[in-house]
Structure 1
Amino acid sequence: MSSDPTLPRTAVPLGITDPVEKARAELKAALAAIEEKSNVPKRVAKATDRGVADARRFARRNPTGAALAVAGAAVAVGAAVWGLVRLYTR
């Protein structure tokens, strides 16, 4: 059985007439889907890569807005740390 490069790993190819071969293809697709869903580090890495690409694209289009966003995030983190330290020392 040759694999179609355009078909996702989680899809069952059409046109399988042999019931045993079809069951194997369905099992293979189901296991691939479970692996895709349960591989959290891989999903986090993909999401991080997308976020970094989006941030770079935003920074190229709007450098002033990106600088303001970074400064705002730094102020928010600083305020949160200051608030936590203040709560802890009381």
Structure 2
Amino acid sequence: MSSEVPVPRTAVPLGIADPVERARAELKATLAAIEEKANVPKRAGAALERRTAQFRRFAQRNPAGAVAVAVGAALAVGTAVWGAVRLYTR
């Protein structure tokens, strides 16, 4: 069993002696970091999953508060839609 920790995609492994291999590893890590940073749909999906899990934990601890938050959010969205339609029709 190996005790090595896997290297993240956006990191350069230690111990590369060959300058060409090191440059390739750095380029690969840089491109992976750019992809991680620029992939907005993936980041938004991950953020949504975190917030959903956070709200579910809150709902388990405080069901009445979760209902109040859900009703408040629905009221806010409904008011915004009503206001937008009212502005459009005038």
TM-score with structure 1 length normalisation? 0.85
Unaligned 5+ residue runs, structure 1?
none
Question: Among the aligned pairs, what percent are the same residue?
Answer: 69
Greater Cα shift, 4-13 or 37-46: 4-13
Matching residue of 2:61: 61
Q: Pairwise CA RMSD of aligned residues?
A: 1.5
| 1:1-90 paired onto structure 2 within 5 Å | 6-90=6-90
How many residues get paired? 87
SS in 1 for 2:32: helix
Unmatched runs of 5 consecutive residues or more in structure 2:
none
Moved over 3 A (4+): none
TM-score, structure 2 length as denominator? 0.85
Separation in 2 of the partners of 1:87 and 1:71? Answer: 24
